[in-house]
Amino acid sequence: MLAFKWDPFTKRGAEGFRYYKRLPFRRLMPLLLAVFCLFSIVGVFNDLMNLGLYPYLLLASSAVSSGLIAVVYVLIALRYSPYWFIVVSVLQIPYWLFFGWLANVLGQSLHLHEVASADGVRVDAVLILLLVIASYTLFIAFIRRQGAEVHRITNELELAHGIQKTLVPPIGLRTPRFEVYGISCPSEKVGGDLVDALCLPNGDAIAYLADIAGHGLQAGILMGMLKTAARTALLETGERDASHTLPLLLDRLNSVLPVVKEAHMYATFTGFRLGDDGSVHYALAASPPILHWHANGAGLSHLEEEQFPVGLLPVASFDGQRLDAKPGDLLVVATDGILEVCDKSQEEFGLGRLKQVIERHASAPLVELAKKILETANEFGKQADDQTILVVRCL
C-alpha cells in the first residue's frame, strides 16, 4: 500500500532509523494521524468507484482499515525491522478476505442496505475533502514541530562549534630552540581531536596531540575534559625531570578519564617535551607513528611504541623516550583521520603518501606544510573523521 524510498542499511538510513526509534510516541502522533487520514481516503475511494452504494457502517470500516494498515507500515519504517514489511504485506491477503466475509455477515445480520448512489457519492466527496484537510493540517503540525527541534539542535551545534574553536584553535608556539604548529579540522561541527602547546616556567615547552575515539558532540565533550585535565596536571608534573613529565601526565590522565566517560571511549596521545637545551622527550599511547624528517639528508624515519590508549584500561605506568633531533629536523604527527582517508577503491592514504608530502615540502613554513598535508589528503578521498596535525621544527 505504501512505498518508502528508505534503506536502513545505509549510513544515512541507519541514522534516521535510530532517530525515529528514540522519538517519543506522543511526538509521532501528528504524523501517524496524518497518515491515517490520508490513507483512509483509499477506503472511501473504493466506495466512490462503486458509485457510493456501501452502507455507511461498511464505508467507515473500510476507511478505518485502510488508515490503520498505512499506520502499521509507517511504524515499521520508523521503528522496526524492514522485514516486517513482508509479513504485513502477506497478512493483508487473509485480512481483506476476512473483511469481505465479515461485511457480508454484518450486512445480512444487521439488515444493512445499499445507500442511494447520489447520496453515497456526496458523502464520499465530503469525506475525501475533510480527510485531505485533516491530513494536510496534521502533516504541517508535525513538520513545524520537527522544524523547531532541528532549529534548536542546529543552534546548540553552532554554540558547540564555537566552543570547539575556542578549545582547539590552530596553535603556534616558538621558543629559541623549537617552532611548533598544530591544527585540527573536525569532520562535524564538533570533533574529538585535540592539539595543544604551552610553555613551562623553566623555558621548556610541551606540545601534544590527542584523538578521542569517535567524533561528534560526545567526543568533543571528552576532548574538553582531557585538555583541562592535561593542563592542570602539567602545573605539577611540568617541573619534574624532563624524562618523567609525559609518562606522569599519561598516568594522571589514565586515572582521571575513566570516571568521566563512557566505558567504550578512550584517547590516543602523542606528546613532546621540548627542552630549552634542544632536547626532545616524547611519549606515545596507541597513536600513529611520529614521522621524523632528518635535515642532514638521512630521509624520513618513524617512531612508534606499543602502549595502551589513555582511559581504557588500568595501566601500571606509561613509558617515555628521548629523541635525537638535530637543527632543521622536522617531527610530524597526524591522526587517523588523515592516514585512513580512502579513495574510491577504498585504498587508504597511509603513511607512505604522508611521507611523500613531507619530503616535498619539508623546507616550507610549518603552516604551509600542514595545509599541504590536509589538501593532499582531501584530494585523495573524502574526509570521514577528524583530521589533526602537529608539526615541530628544531631551530
Assess if residue 362 is contained within a domain: yes
Q: What is the CATH number of the domain that holds 205?
A: 3.60.40.10
Same domain, 214 and 95: no
Same domain, 386 and 244: yes
SS3 content of the chain, % helix, strand, coil (to 5): 55, 20, 30
Question: End of a domain among 161, 186, 221?
Answer: 161
Same domain, 172 and 156: no
pLDDT, residue 208, reads 97
User: Is pLDDT of 139 > 60?
Assistant: yes
Same domain, 202 and 62: no
Which residue in 356, 321, 353 sits closest to 340, CA to CA? 353
Assess if residue 344 is contained within a domain: yes
User: Is pLDDT of 4 > 60?
Assistant: no
Each residue's pLDDT tens digit, 41-95: 999 998 888 888 888 888 998 999 999 999 999 888 888 877 888 888 888 888 8
Same domain, 90 and 215: no
> How many separate domains does the chain show?
2
Same domain, 156 and 45: yes
pLDDT, residue 5, reads 43
pLDDT, residue 17, reads 58
Assess if residue 1 is contained within a domain: no
User: Is pLDDT of 272 > 50?
Assistant: yes
Question: End of a domain among 145, 161, 177?
Answer: 161
Same domain, 154 and 201: no
Assess if residue 6 is contained within a domain: no
Each residue's pLDDT tens digit, 355-371: 999 999 999 999 999 99
Helix 217-237 vs helix 117-167: crossing angle, to nearest 10: 10
Q: Mean pLDDT: which of 5-19, 75-89, 120-134 is highest?
A: 120-134
Assess if residue 287 is contained within a domain: yes
User: What percent of the chain is predicted at pLDDT more than 70?
Assistant: 93
pLDDT, residue 8, reads 46
Same domain, 326 and 202: yes
Assess if residue 187 is contained within a domain: yes
In Å, what is the CA distance from 186 to each residue of 250, 336, 379, 388?
Answer: 24, 12, 17, 8
Q: How high does pLDDT run on average in the chain? A: 87
Identify which has the larger pLDDT, 342 or 12.
342
Q: Which domain holds residue 201?
A: 168-394
Question: End of a domain among 108, 132, 161?
Answer: 161
Same domain, 179 and 245: yes
Distance CA 260, CA 258 (A): 6
Contacts of 310 (CB under 8 A, 6+ apart): 210, 226, 250, 253, 254, 257, 266, 267, 268, 269, 285, 286
Same domain, 327 and 215: yes
pLDDT, residue 323, reads 94
pLDDT, residue 102, reads 78
Assess if residue 25 is contained within a domain: yes
First to last CA, the chain: 72
Same domain, 157 and 27: yes
pTM, full prediction:
0.70
Supply φ then ψ for residue 280, to 5 degrees.
Answer: -130, 120
Assess if residue 3 is contained within a domain: no
Each residue's pLDDT tens digit, 226-248: 999 999 988 877 677 888 999 99
Same domain, 75 and 113: yes
